[in-house]
Structure 1
Amino acid sequence: MGVHAVGNELDDLAASARAALVREIAAEGVFDRDPVWRAVFETVPRHVFVPYYYVGVVGGFERRWCDSPEAGARERWVRGAYADTPLATRLRDGELLSSSSQPSLMATMLVELEVADGDHVLEIGTGTGYNAALLAHRLGDDGLVTTIDLEPEITDSARRHLAAAGYRPAVITGDGARGVPERAPYDRIIATCALPSVPGAWIAQCRPGGRILTPLATGLVALTVHDAGHAEGRFLNTAAYFVPLRGGGTTDQGPVQLGGVPRRGREHELFRFLLALTRGRLDPQEAYALWEREGEPGRERYGITVVGDREWAWLDDPEGPYSWPLSGPASALVEP
């Protein structure tokens, strides 16, 4: 049947579930800074972009899809599409390749992107196409939005989803770490995949005064671009866990051993953020001593500076005593 045939049957349920999701996000205050996004989320249908997805069950994953022969299963598919949770959309040998992010986190990121009418926006990590649709709807012009993903099967399906929902932004197949220079310059760049550092190509393709919002470590950093080789900004206080960017020549550095770190540190999400951000540049025990000494700092006290080919993370002040070069992929954290 497909999403459209099922749509007539479940339109009312989808509309009701979408309205409930938007109310839930609004109640958290996410739309307060830019209420226009509330109307966007009320309009763009998420279920069109997730004709199937996977939910975790004991022993693996269960597939929910729009073409299930059981009416109850189709209803569960629609309701799940409008739950405020990330949805696994592509698996390969049990590994998550692509997902549709948690809607409240997507809303937070889009508000923090500070998009204005007429802005040209580049999205790194197309996924289902839902985020690109939200941007295209907000800007009212498909030509202002470019989205890129490495996997042809992802970009092909995203194009179909976008067309079905009535949007046609530029969908490019390629390495997101290189940006899309042929459609530059951009006023805003947003990434929906995790990276170990901020690619210089993004800064070079962004106009001075532009804004780059990207996951890094387990947070979100918002950078202001000063010129083609200089950008700087702080992390939001929001935790963020994304599928890593594929391509870009990254390799796994292996795990960070946490032996000797007190249990409080091993289990504290903000300490683990510091370890992910410093990527083994700090010995875990030294990192724990710093973290305690500085009052268990939240994400918003950290930032990133890029100047030419130098890139570093810092605590409180880019020129302060605590700074760490960024290079290579983030290490995994393991218990002793």
Structure 2
Amino acid sequence: MGAHALDKELEAVAASARAALVREIDASGAWAADPVWRDVFATVPRHLFVPYYYVGVVGGYERRWGQSPDPEARERWVRGAYADTPLATRLRDGELLSSSSQPSLMAMMLTELGVEDGDRVLEIGAGTGYNAALLAHRLRDDDLVTTVDLEPEITESARRHLEDAGYHPVVVTGDGARGVPERAPFDRIIATCTLASIPPAWLAQCRPGGRILTPVATGLVALTVRDAGYAEGSFLSTPAYFVPLRGTGRPGPEPSALGAVPRRGREHDLFRFLLALTRGSVDPQEAYALWEREGRPGRERYGITVGAGSEWAWLDDPEGPYTWPLPA
């Protein structure tokens, strides 16, 4: 649905809701380190990227869409499109396949990515196309942005949304874990789906000194690439919950032997992050003892190193004593 399909009244609602969202993100401090993103979010129309979405209701989901014959329903749709919440955009048999991330989290991730004029950026997980539009607007050159997704229906709709909004980055259908070698090298790689480890192809396609920002476990790790075989970096302090990367690198099931772990551990976000990070390589009781001994460390004390044909996560120091192998 193009911008022309909104009546003037709804366009005014969209503009007002977008301005309110920008004020909310501004107050959160998400782009304090690079305020250029304020104008980007103020300009790119999120509603064009979510012509319909699903909101959770008792017993399942309710669909909101911009072509509803009911004017009140259309207004609910456009206001919801500018709420600072993730929006479920694709479901299959009740399972969430794709979503548009929470705008303030997107703003924080884009700021942390450290994009500079002229950078070539690869996005893993095209989603609705909104994030690619934000990048294209920021860089003022659509050809600098490449976004990839495994599902043809996702890339087709992302491309359509981008065209409706007037952006034309390169949209590729393929396995995000393999990157997009024909468009390399990249200065920045950002993923909007969770991985169990860092695909070697990303390092090979990233320039030395480049930056990779990706969800791992329930956090976000920012890696600096030294060369095609080595990258290292720490997690940000913020939690991040994303749909797993489809194709390769999908995280396995969570360890089930949590019965002996005290309830305050089982229910604590930071302990569950440690469990997800060390998935299967540390006994949950041992992990809990370590977590308590180290003062219940926040995400920012953990990091990941990719090098010498292996990958490992660590607490405080890549050399140890606390290191855990990541799945190949």
> Helix, strand or coil: the match of 2:297?
coil
**2:305, 2:116 → 1: CA distance?**
24
Q: What residue number does 1:89 align with?
A: 89
Q: What residue number does 1:286 align with?
A: 286
Query: Contact conserved, 2:185 with 2:206, CA < 8 A, in 1?
Result: yes
Query: Contact conserved, 1:2 with 1:51, CA < 8 A, in 2?
Result: no
Q: What residue number does 2:42 align with?
A: 42
Q: CA deviation at 1:15?
A: 0.4
Q: CA deviation at 1:280?
A: 1.7
Note the 1:294-309 alignment, pairs <5 A.
294-309=294-309
2:315 is the alignment partner of 1:315? yes
CA deviation string 1:157-213 (max 9, x = no partner): 000000010000000000000000000000000000000000000011000000000
Query: Contact conserved, 1:2 with 1:66, CA < 8 A, in 2?
Result: no
Structure 1-normalised TM-score? Answer: 0.96
Q: CA deviation at 1:254?
A: 5.6
Q: CA deviation at 1:3?
A: 5.7
Query: Contact conserved, 1:209 with 1:226, CA < 8 A, in 2?
Result: yes
- 1:96 partner letter: L
> Helix, strand or coil: the match of 2:6?
helix
The alignment-based identity, stated in percent, is: 79
- 1:50 partner letter: V
The runs of at least 4 consecutive aligned structure 1 residues that moved more than 2 Å come to 1-4, 6-9, 249-257
**1:187, 1:146 → 2: CA distance?**
12
Q: What residue number does 2:67 align with?
A: 67
**1:213, 1:200 → 2: CA distance?**
14
> Helix, strand or coil: the match of 2:62?
strand
Query: Contact conserved, 1:3 with 1:67, CA < 8 A, in 2?
Result: no
Query: Contact conserved, 2:244 with 2:250, CA < 8 A, in 1?
Result: no
- 2:303 partner letter: G
Structure 2-normalised TM-score? Answer: 0.98
- 2:309 partner letter: D
> Helix, strand or coil: the match of 2:90?
strand
Q: What residue number does 1:226 align with?
A: 226
Question: Is the deviation greater in 248-257 or in 198-207?
Answer: 248-257
CA deviation string 1:139-165 (max 9, x = no partner): 000000000000000000000000010
- 2:66 partner letter: C
**1:251, 1:264 → 2: CA distance?**
24
- 1:215 partner letter: P
Query: Contact conserved, 1:136 with 1:169, CA < 8 A, in 2?
Result: yes
Q: CA deviation at 1:255?
A: 3.9
2:164 is the alignment partner of 1:170? no
2:320 is the alignment partner of 1:324? no
**1:251, 1:43 → 2: CA distance?**
36
**1:122, 1:277 → 2: CA distance?**
24
Cα separation, partners in 2 of 1:54 and 1:109, compared to 1, 3 Å: same
Q: CA deviation at 1:250?
A: 4.1
Note the 1:253-268 alignment, pairs <5 A.
253=253, 255-268=255-268
Gaps spanning 5+ residues in structure 2: where? Answer: none
Paired positions, count: 328
**1:249, 1:124 → 2: CA distance?**
13
**1:80, 1:278 → 2: CA distance?**
37
2:15 is the alignment partner of 1:19? no
Question: Is the deviation greater in 64-73 or in 4-13?
Answer: 4-13
Q: CA deviation at 1:16?
A: 0.3
Gaps spanning 5+ residues in structure 1: where? Answer: 329-336
Query: Contact conserved, 2:84 with 2:102, CA < 8 A, in 1?
Result: yes
**2:4, 2:257 → 1: CA distance?**
50
Query: Contact conserved, 2:49 with 2:158, CA < 8 A, in 1?
Result: yes
Q: CA deviation at 1:6?
A: 2.3
2:277 is the alignment partner of 1:273? no
Query: Contact conserved, 1:162 with 1:168, CA < 8 A, in 2?
Result: yes
